[in-house]
Amino acid sequence: MNHQTPIDRLRRPIRDLRISVTDRCNFRCSYCMPKEIFGDDFAFMPKSELLTFEEIERLTRLFASIGVKKIRLTGGEPLLRKDMPTLVSRIMQVDGVEDVGLTTNGVMLGAHAQALHDAGLRRLNVSLDALDSELFGRLNGRGVDSALILKQIDHAVETGFEVKVNMVVQKGVNESEILPMAAYFKDKGVTLRFIEFMDVGNDNGWSFKRVVTKKEIYERLAEIHELEPVDPDYFGEVASRYRYKGTQSEVGFITSVSESFCSSCTRARLSSNGIFYTCLFAYKGFDLRALLRGGASDEEILSAIVEVWEARADRYSDERTEQTARNRKKINMSYIGG
C-alpha cells in the first residue's frame, strides 16, 4: 500500500510521527508534570485506554504508507511501558520507516538498553537538565541523582547507541549548568542540545522572561569554545547544530521560542490513547482509536489521517505571545508526548 504524501495548508508534507506510549512518568519535572497538578491522586489512563502494540503498529504502517519515515517513541516515560523492545522491533520492520528513536529520562536504561539495542534501536535522546546533583534532584521532583543518569548514558554509549542529551534551560533555575554540561559532554563526544523552555500545557509557569534563548546560550559558550556551524542533515531538522572546532563533538539548539521553525514542521503526534495531533500546542486532536476499535478499514483510517493533515494550518510558535501562552488551552506535554 503506497499513497501520495498529503501536504498541509502551509505546504508541509507529513514526514515524522511522535508516538507517546504512556502518559505516566517516574519524574515530576516542573516544566512538564508539576507535582501540584500530577499529585498522588492524579488519574492516569487505565491500561485499556492505551493503544496496544498491534494498534500502534497498524497506525505506523498506515502513516508510513503516506510518507512518514521517522518515528520517535516518547511519553510520559516510555520505558515505563512493558516490553518496549518488542514494540521497537515491530516498528522497525514497517515498510518505509527509515529511522526510529526513543526519548527517555534515562533512569531505567540500565535495565533496558541491551534489549532495545538487540531489537534494532540505535538512537536515544536522554534528558538531563543539570550535572549538579542537588539541583537535578529538585528539577526532576523525585530526588534522583544526576550521577545515575550519567552512568546510564555511559552504559548506553557502551552498548552501541548514538546518544544525544537534551537540556531544558530555564532562566534563574539551571543557567549555571550551561557551561559545566557543555564541557562534560564535549569531552565525552556526546551531543548536547539546549532546548528553550516552552509553554507546553497550561500548568508550567511559563513566561518569555523565563526563557534563555539560543543567542544567550551561544554567547556564553562562544566565550570559551570556538564553534562552527554544521549543515542540517535533512529538511526540517529541528536543532541548529555547531561543532566544537578541531573536534567531532557537537552541540545543538532547539529554538522553539526565539527562532520558531513552524514553516518546516513535518511532525505528527499520536497520544498514548490514539489521538492524532498536528501540533505540540494543539488542544483538539482526532480520535484514531475510535476508528481502530470501531472496525474501520485501513482505507477509512487513511482517509481520515489525510483529511486531518490536509486541513492543518498550525504555526503556534510563529504566533506565540504572552497572551496566547497564558490563555490558549493546550494539551499537557506528558500526554501529547514531547
Interacting residues toward ligand SF4 by CB under 6 A: 25, 27-29, 32-33, 75-77, 105, 127, 261-262, 265, 267, 279-281, 314-317, 334
Q: Which is nearer to ligand SF4, 309 or 316 (CB)?
A: 316
The binder of 279, among ligand SF4, ligand SAM, none, by C-beta within 5 to 8 A per type, is ligand SF4
Q: How far is the CB of 95 from ligand SF4 (least distance, A)?
A: 26
Instruction: Count residues binding ligand SAM (CB under 6 A).
Output: 20
Could you tell me the CA-to-CA distances from 167 to 190, 191, 234, 254 in Å, in that order? 13, 11, 22, 10
Q: Grid coordinates in use for 207?
A: 513566561
User: Which of 190, 291, 331, 333 touches ligand SAM by CB under 6 A?
Assistant: 333
C-alpha grid cell, residue 146: 544526576
Site for ligand SAM, residues 153 to 192, rule: CB under 6 A: 166, 168
Q: Which does 280 bind (CB under 5 to 8 A by kind): ligand SF4, ligand SAM, none?
A: ligand SF4
Q: Which of residues 92-111 bind ligand SAM (CB under 6 A)?
A: 103-105
| Residue selected from 14, 19, 25, 107 as contacting ligand SAM according to rule CB under 6 A | 25
Stretch that binds ligand SAM, among 71-79, 116-124, 155-163, 306-314 (CB under 6 A): 71-79
Q: How far apart are CA 80 and CA 318, in angstroms?
A: 34
Per partner kind, with CB cut-offs from 5 to 8 A, the member of ligand SF4, ligand SAM, none near residue 265 is ligand SF4
Q: Distances from the Cα of 41 to the Cαs of 22, 34, 78, 115, in angstroms?
A: 17, 13, 21, 33
Sheet with 191-196: strands ordered across:
227-230, 240-244, 250-254, 191-196, 162-169, 123-127, 99-104, 70-74, 16-20, 267-270, 275-277, 286-287
Does 197 bind ligand SAM (CB under 6 A)? Our answer is yes
| 24 φ/ψ angles, rounded to the nearest 5 degrees | -90, 155
- In the bound state with ligand SAM, the residue whose beta carbon lies nearer, of 97 and 325, is 325
- Whole-angstrom distance, CA of residue 204 vs CA of residue 281: 13
* Spatial CB neighbours of 157, under 8 Å, sequence gap ≥ 6: 163, 188, 190
Is-contact 140 108, C-beta < 8 A? no
CA angle 68, 92, 51 (to 5 degrees): 75
By CB under 6 A, name the one of 75, 101, 141, 252 that touches ligand SAM.
75
Report whether 88 contacts 100 (CB < 8 A).
Answer: yes
- Residue 13: strand pairing partners: 7
Taking the complex as a whole, the smallest distance from the CB of residue 199 to ligand SAM amounts, in Å, to 7
Residue 198 interacts with which of ligand SF4, ligand SAM, none, CB < 5 to 8 Å by class: ligand SAM
**Which residues bind to ligand SAM, rule: CB under 6 A?**
25, 31-32, 74-75, 77, 103-105, 127, 166, 168, 195, 197-198, 200, 204, 333-334, 338
